[in-house]
Amino acid sequence: MSNILITGCDSGIGRTFATQYAADGHTVHATYNDAANRIDAAGNFHHHQLDVTDFAQFDRVAKTLDGAPIDILISNAGVGHDTRKLGALDLAYVETMFRINTLGFLKLAETFHENVIASAQKRIAIVSSRMGSMACNLTGGHYGYRASKAALNAMGRSLAVDLAPSGVVVVMLHPGWVDTAGGAGNATVPVADSVSSMRRIIHRIGNHETGQFFNYSGQMLPW
C-alpha cells in the first residue's frame, strides 16, 4: 500500500482523492486550509493543517512526517475562476490566485520532493486546468486564473526535468468541469468519476511520459 499526501482536502476533488485512496487501504496524509473540515470517515488518515500561503505550516507538516516516504504527492489546493472583465479586474484577487495556485505548489514541491524520491512509487500529480492551456484559449478573459494555471504547468514541467534522474514521474491533470462548489452549478462531470479517472492516470503513467499534461480521460493536452 502507498503513502499519499494530498493538499486541499477541505472539499471537492481533494476530499474525494483522500476518501477514495483511504477506502482502498492506502495511508493518506490529508491537509486542510481549515482543520475544522477534517474528514470523519474510516481509513488510515493523518490530518494536517496546511494553508498553502503560509510557508511555515509546510515546515511543520514536514517535521511531523520526519522524512517518511511519500509515494504519491497530490497538489490539489487551489482557488477558482476570476470572472471580472478587462477594465474592472480585481488585481488583489489575481495576486491571491498566484499565491495559492502557483507559489503554493512550488513550496509543496520544495518541501516534500525528497520524501517522494525516498518512496517506492515516486509520483507527483498536479491538479491543473485546461484553462491553463494557451493553445486551447479561444474565449479570453479569466486572466488571473488562466495565468496562474499556465505558470503552474511551467513549474510542473521544470520539476519533471529536474527530478527525472531520481526516477520521479510528474503529471499535470485537468479534472474536467467537475460537479463541485467551483463548478458554477452547471458542471457535468461527477467528482467521483473525475478522481477515479485521474487516479488511473497517476498509477499507469510511465517515466517516458513525465512532465505531460492530460485530461482526466487520458487525452494529452497542448500547452
Q: Is residue 223 part of a domain?
A: no
Give me the pLDDT at residue 181, please.
Answer: 60
Helix (H) or strand (E) holding 108: helix 104-117
| 51 CB burial (10 A radius; 0-12, 13-18, 19+) | middle
pTM greater than 0.85 (yes/no): yes
Asked whether residue 54 is domain-assigned, the answer is yes
Residue 81, pLDDT score: 73
Residues found in the chain: 223
- 3-class state of residue 46 by DSSP: strand
The answer to the question of residue 222 being in a domain is no
All three cell numbers of 175, joined, read: 479534472
In a domain, 183, yes or no: yes
- Looking at the 3D structure of the chain, how many domains does it have? 1
* Within-domain flag for 220: no
With b for 16 or more beta-carbon neighbours within 10 A and e for fewer, the 144-168 pattern comes to: bbbbbbbbbbebbbebbeebeeeeb
Q: Can you count the helices (H) and strands (E) in the chain?
A: 6, 7
Locus of grid cell 525516498 = 118
Residue 136 sits in a domain whose CATH number is: 3.40.50.720
| pLDDT score of 80 | 86
Residue 207 lies in a domain: yes
Residue 158, pLDDT score:
98
Going residue by residue through the chain, which has 223 residues, state the pLDDT in tens, using 9 for 90 and above: 999 999 999 999 999 999 999 999 999 999 999 999 999 998 999 999 999 999 999 999 999 999 999 999 999 999 987 788 999 999 999 999 999 999 999 999 999 999 999 999 999 999 999 999 999 999 999 999 999 999 999 999 999 999 999 999 999 999 999 976 654 556 689 999 999 999 999 999 999 999 999 999 999 999 9
Look at residue 97 and tell me if it is in a domain: yes
- Structural domain including 118 reads 3-215
Say if 221 falls within a structural domain.
no
